[in-house]
Structures are given as structure tokens and as C-alpha cells.
């Protein structure tokens, strides 16, 4: 019975291990995993958390400052007795304690504007995080499609090599029968050897691209990492029906590059207001309480009595009016204004860069579409030429070299269709992102 249980358990564990090894990652799984685990995204998330702490600091500036002080000391020689403020030449132990509170009532609205600034900085950090997610998602998608292209390319090579091996076997029979010269057989054998070499290279290329994708996802188990070999269709073509101007306008409304630049400009303007607040006076309220004890009290009062009778309070308002501070406030205002000008230039440059990128992406997508359509037309033509060459070769009307050339052109046409297809799919996704479609809503 025990052996049966152990055997069943072993099969169970083996089944789990086999399932783990056979897991294949879809594109959406890769993207979501990257969004959750990528180091750059985690760093951006930390920047966002830091901006939230800065906002908490800004809120804390509105709260009163409360502190408690306590002091215990032993004095000898000529010292002041803290209970009667007289000099005495003796050794005694004293204890003092107090509490103070202060509250800023007005500081030129700097605290209020600092809070506004912290909110803007938090929003900028949020936009930076979203931009990082878009960039990572596109990077992962491109790497994924590259792996898929490499796999499809290998399928073409294997399929064509199977045809070559069949032709090689048939040619061997015809050469043995004296119907074809041995040169035709040698030509096909050379073609087969070349194709076998290309298959090995293609397999290595797949492995390298899979390792690269796994490293991007921070997956350590390279050996068992693989992707789902879906037949991705070309979707989203309707977005190319929009004009480039419409795409640019939408991108300026939706893209995080512009939002980040705008928020940074707003932050710089808020810094100017904060700096100007130093020109204004600061009004604060304060309250202090203190008490003390000494063991050489002239009235021989106990500890509790002394603390009760020796206490004192003070409270009031404090007004600080800036008169001259070595031009530091004025210079800080000027520096902040320069930063505003810089932020405006950065915003203008961001808009120009985005416009150029959208136009480039639009042209790239249009070019990728034409390349894909041309590749399909070329494939149809090469397929017919290959079929014609095969028929002629089968009846001995063409030699092995011409047949191999026709076959090679057909194979290249197949590979080009696959390459242009995935290139077009990726460039369409870039356009969709610029149009404001969230990365999680992209359809492949």
C-alpha cells in the first residue's frame, strides 16, 4: 500500500514538472509578466512612491511642530540654583523639562504652493510610469514577434528541405537508371547540404531570440522557456485610414511624453511662485511650557511640589520680515524663471519629436503594408514558377541547377511574406499606441 502511494505521488510530481516544462507563453502573458516584473518599471514605481512621500511632507508642513525637552544634570562649584536663580558653591542635582509648540500661520503661501507642487510631481511620476510600461510592452512585443518569425522561417526551411530530400531520392533513381546525368544528383545533394546548414542556423537563431526574450522578462529558466506559436492575423488596418494630422493631434492629447513635459512645465512655474513667497513676511505662533527641580531647594520641597510650583509658560506670535538677504531670494526667483523657460522649450521639443515620430511611424506602417502586399504578389508568382520548374524537372526538361534556383526563390518569397507580415503587425501597434489605445487593449 505504501509503495502504491509513493508511486502515485511520484507520478503526480512528475506530471507537475512536465506541465511546467511544457508551458508556452502567449504574447499577452509575456507583456503582462514584463509589466509586473521589469526592473525599469519597478524603478519608476519607486519614483512614484517617493513622490507620494514628498506630498506627505508638504501636508505635514501645515501641522504644528511639537517637541518635548528633558534634562538631568549634576553640577558642582559655583553654579546657579535653578529653583531660586542664585549662585551657590555646592554640588547639586537638577532636573528640567519642557514642551514647545509652534505653528506657521503665514509664510507667503509657500507651504500651500509646495503642496500643489507635490501633487504635480506625483502626476508627472505617474505619467513616467505609464510611458515606461508602453515602451516595455512594445519592446516585448517586438522581441516576441521576432521569435515567432524565426520559428515560421524554420518551418519554411524544414518544409522545403523535405521537398529537396524527396527530389534527391527520385533523382538518385533516375541517375541509376541512366535517365539523368550524375551532375543533377550532385547539385541536389549540394542543395540539401546547404539547406541542412541553414536549418541548424535557424534553430540556433530561435534559441538565441528566445533567450533574449526570457532575459527581457527576467526569466532564468532559458531551457524550458518557449512561446505559443499562434497565427497572428493582421488587424487594426483601419487606423491607417486616418490622416497623419489626425494621428498627431490625437497623440498630443494622449501620449505621456507630452503630459510629462506639461507637468514639468507646471512644476517649474510653481517653483517660481514658491521662490517669490520668500519676499513676504512669515508669521508664526508659539507656546512654551517648562518646569524644573533641584535637590538643594531652599524650601526643601519634594520633587512633585517643585515641578508644580516651578513651572512657567510663554506664548505669542513671531513675525519675520525679510529686508536684505544678499539677493538670494531674487536670484532664486530668476533661477526658477529660467527653469520655466527651459521647461517650455522641452515641451515644444517634445511636441516636435512626437510629431516627427508619429509621421515616421505612419510612413513606416504604410511602407510595411506595401512591402507585405508586394511580398504576397511575389510569393504567388514564385509559387507558380516553382510549380512550373518542378513539372519540367520531373520530365527531364530542366536541370537540377535551374530547379534549385526556382526552389530557392520560392523559399525566399515565403520567408519574405512572413517577415513583412510581422513587421507590418508591429508597426500597426506603434500607430495604435500613438493614437492613445492602452497597451493592455492592443489586439494581435
Task: Tell me the pLDDT band of 1, cut-offs 50, 70 and 90.
Answer: very low
Residue 430 lies in a domain: yes
pLDDT tens per residue, range 142-156: 999 899 999 989 988
What are the b/e assignments for 53-67, b being 16+ CB within 10 Å? ebbeebeeeeeeeee
CA nearest to 163, candidates 416, 407, 418, 412? 407
Q: Say yes or no to pLDDT of 223 above 80.
A: yes
Q: Say yes or no to pLDDT of 265 above 60.
A: yes
Q: Say yes or no to pLDDT of 48 above 90.
A: yes
Mean pLDDT of the chain: 87
Q: Say yes or no to pLDDT of 420 above 90.
A: yes
Residue 284 lies in a domain: no
Mean local confidence (pLDDT), 185-192: 87
**Which residues form the domain of 43?**
23-279+290-437
- State whether the Cα torsion 37-42-45-49 is positive or negative: positive
Cell numbers linked to 93: 542635582
Mean local confidence (pLDDT), 60-81: 88
> How many structural domains are present in the chain?
1
Residue 301 confidence (pLDDT)? 86
Task: Tell me the pLDDT band of 16, cut-offs 50, 70 and 90.
Answer: very low
Q: Say yes or no to pLDDT of 6 above 50.
A: no
Q: Say yes or no to pLDDT of 444 above 70.
A: no
Residue 103 lies in a domain: yes
Q: Label each residue of 389-434 as H, E or C.
A: HHHHHHCCCCCHHHHHHHHHHHHHHHHHHHHHHHHHHHHHHHHHHH
Residue 99 confidence (pLDDT)? 96
Residue 278 confidence (pLDDT)? 92
What is the C-alpha to C-alpha distance for residues 385 and 404, in angstroms, rounded to an integer? 12
Q: Say yes or no to pLDDT of 17 above 60.
A: no
Residues 400, 393 contacting (CB under 8 angstroms): yes
Residue 285 lies in a domain: no
Q: Say yes or no to pLDDT of 220 above 50.
A: yes
pLDDT tens per residue, range 118-128: 999 999 999 99
Residue 444 lies in a domain: no
Residue 109 lies in a domain: yes
Task: Tell me the pLDDT band of 25, cut-offs 50, 70 and 90.
Answer: very high
pLDDT tens per residue, range 242-256: 888 999 999 998 899
Residue 142 lies in a domain: yes
Q: Say yes or no to pLDDT of 67 above 90.
A: yes
CB atoms within 10 A of CB 51: 20
Residue 3 confidence (pLDDT)? 46
pLDDT tens per residue, range 291-344: 989 888 777 888 999 899 889 999 999 999 999 888 899 999 999 999 999 999
CA nearest to 418, candidates 406, 408, 429, 426? 426
**CATH code of the domain containing 228:** 1.20.1600.10
Mean local confidence (pLDDT), 168-191: 82
Q: Say yes or no to pLDDT of 238 above 60.
A: yes
Q: What is the Cα 235 distance to its own chain's centre?
A: 25
Whole-number percent of the chain with pLDDT over 70: 93
Residue 237 lies in a domain: yes
* Rg, C-alpha atoms of the chain: 39
What is the C-alpha to C-alpha distance for residues 396 and 177, in angstroms, rounded to an integer? 13
pTM above 0.85, yes or no: no
Amino acid at each position: 500500500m505504501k509503495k502504491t502511494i509513493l508511486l502515485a505521488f511520484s507520478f503526480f510530481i512528475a506530471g507537475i514538472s512536465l506541465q511546467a516544462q511544457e508551458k508556452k507563453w502567449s504574447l499577452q502573458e509575456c507583456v503582462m509578466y514584463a509589466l509586473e516584473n521589469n526592473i525599469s518599471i519597478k524603478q519608476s514605481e519607486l519614483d512614484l512612491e517617493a513622490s507620494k512621500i514628498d506630498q506627505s511632507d508638504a501636508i505635514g508642513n501645515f501641522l504644528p511642530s511639537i517637541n518635548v525637552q528633558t534634562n538631568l544634570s549634576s553640577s558642582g562649584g559655583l553654579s546657579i540654583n535653578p529653583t531660586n536663580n542664585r549662585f551657590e558653591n555646592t554640588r547639586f542635582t537638577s532636573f528640567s523639562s519642557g514642551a514647545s509648540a509652534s505653528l506657521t500661520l503665514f509664510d507667503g503661501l509657500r507651504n500651500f504652493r509646495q503642496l500643489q507642487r507635490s501633487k504635480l510631481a506625483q502626476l508627472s511620476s505617474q505619467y513616467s510610469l505609464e510611458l515606461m510600461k508602453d515602451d516595455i510592452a512594445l519592446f516585448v512585443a517586438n522581441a516576441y514577434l521576432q521569435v515567432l518569425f524565426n520559428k515560421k522561417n524554420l518551418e519554411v526551411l524544414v518544409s522545403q528541405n523535405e521537398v529537396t530530400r524527396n527530389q534527391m531520392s527520385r533523382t538518385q533513381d533516375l541517375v541509376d537508371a541512366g535517365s539523368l546525368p550524375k551532375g543533377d544528383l550532385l547539385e541536389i545533394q549540394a542543395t540539401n547540404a546547404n539547406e541542412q546548414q541553414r536549418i541548424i542556423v535557424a534553430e540556433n537563431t530561435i534559441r538565441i531570440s528566445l533567450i533574449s526574450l526570457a532575459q527581457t522578462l527576467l526569466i532564468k529558466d532559458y531551457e524550458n522557456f518557449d512561446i505559443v506559436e499562434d497565427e497572428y492575423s493582421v488587424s487594426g488596418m483601419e487606423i491607417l485610414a486616418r490622416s497623419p494630422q489626425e494621428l498627431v493631434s490625437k497623440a498630443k492629447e494622449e501620449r505621456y511624453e507630452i503630459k510629462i513635459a506639461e507637468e514639468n512645465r507646471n512644476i517649474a512655474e510653481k517653483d517660481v511662485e514658491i521662490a517669490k513667497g520668500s519676499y513676504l513676511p512669515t508669521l508664526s505662533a508659539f507656546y512654551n511650557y517648562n518646569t524644573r527641580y533641584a535637590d538643594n531647594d531652599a524650601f526643601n520641597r519634594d520633587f512633585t511640589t517643585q515641578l508644580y510650583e516651578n513651572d512657567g509658560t510663554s506664548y505669542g506670535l513671531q513675525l519675520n520680515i525679510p529686508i536684505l538677504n544678499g539677493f538670494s531670494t531674487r536670484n532664486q526667483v530668476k533661477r526658477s524663471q529660467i527653469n520655466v523657460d527651459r521647461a517650455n522649450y522641452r515641451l515644444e521639443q517634445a511636441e516636435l519629436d512626437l510629431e516627427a515620430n508619429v509621421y515616421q511611424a505612419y510612413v513606416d506602417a504604410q511602407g510595411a503594408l506595401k512591402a507585405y502586399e508586394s511580398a504576397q504578389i511575389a510569393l504567388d508568382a514564385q509559387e507558380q514558377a516553382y510549380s512550373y520548374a518542378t513539372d519540367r524537372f520531373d520530365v527531364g526538361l530542366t536541370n537540377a541547377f535551374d530547379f534549385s534556383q526556382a526552389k530557392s526563390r520560392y523559399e525566399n518569397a515565403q520567408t519574405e511574406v512572413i517577415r513583412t507580415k510581422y513587421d507590418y503587425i508591429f508597426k500597426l501597434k506603434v500607430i495604435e499606441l500613438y493614437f492613445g489605445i492602452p497597451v493592455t487593449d492592443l489586439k494581435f
